[in-house]
Amino acid sequence: MSNDMELIRNLEQILSTLRHELGNSINSLKISLDVVRENYEVFDDAKRKEYLERGLKLLMRQQQLVDAMKSYSQFRVNEQNEIRFLSFWTHFLSAASERLKGGRIKLISRQEIEPCVILGDRAALNKVMTSILDNAVEAVEEQEEPLIELVASKSNGWLKIVLADNGSGIQNNDLTRIFTPLFSTKSGKTGMGLSIAQKLTLEMKGKMSIESSPGKGTQVTVWLKCAGVQEREHEKTTAIPTEAAQ
């Protein structure tokens, strides 16, 4: 019953976002076209072009929403494989450092873990981490001393990846909707990054959680199942650690 209610709430939020985004752009487009129609003979070519370009921008916003919805179904985990985590971690940190090189954002990383193997999809995991990093970068852009910290550790047969930032944080009433497709607090954004990241994490039989305090920053935690020798022996009985299952 609780899962059904959560599904209904998510659908209501998605439909509400679509109603708002599409409703606003359709109304604006209708007004622009009405103005052109009523003043076509009065307007010169420059004025007509101005209104046509305005309408085109509104249509592009609608297309952006359609493309965003398509992207949600396009990203998926096709097959669970064993991934050598430290190899993935090294490549991801290298790409993250290269991206932030020369900027103001300070990146700190720690690995509190020995070499291990996890179950998942390498491309999907990269998409998950990149999406989380993208949000963190946007969150700290206006901070005087922007900081992003990445930590990898292991607990009870599960890999734990934490990405924390000292950005503006997320308002409490927005936190419950943060994984809802199309939900975004930023103008012009599609709000698909974290929803796709959560979807891929769940398809890898993992877990993602977010903790945030307005004005203090945000912490995203990803849990993924290990596939070491001992973990494989207990794979069917090992549960996600309590802090991740909450």
Q: Where are the domains of the chain?
A: 2-74, 81-245
2-74 and 81-245 in the same fold = no
pLDDT 10s digits, 104-115:
999 999 988 888
Query: Looking at 16-135, which runs of residues are DSSP E strands?
Result: 81-84, 106-112, 117-120
Confidence (pTM): 0.74
Query: What CATH number is given for 2-74 in this structure?
Result: 1.10.287
pLDDT 10s digits, 92-105:
999 999 999 888 99
- pLDDT surpasses 80 at 235: no
- Domain 81-245 belongs to what topology? Heat Shock Protein 90 (3.30.565)
CA 164 – CA 158 distance, rounded (Å): 19
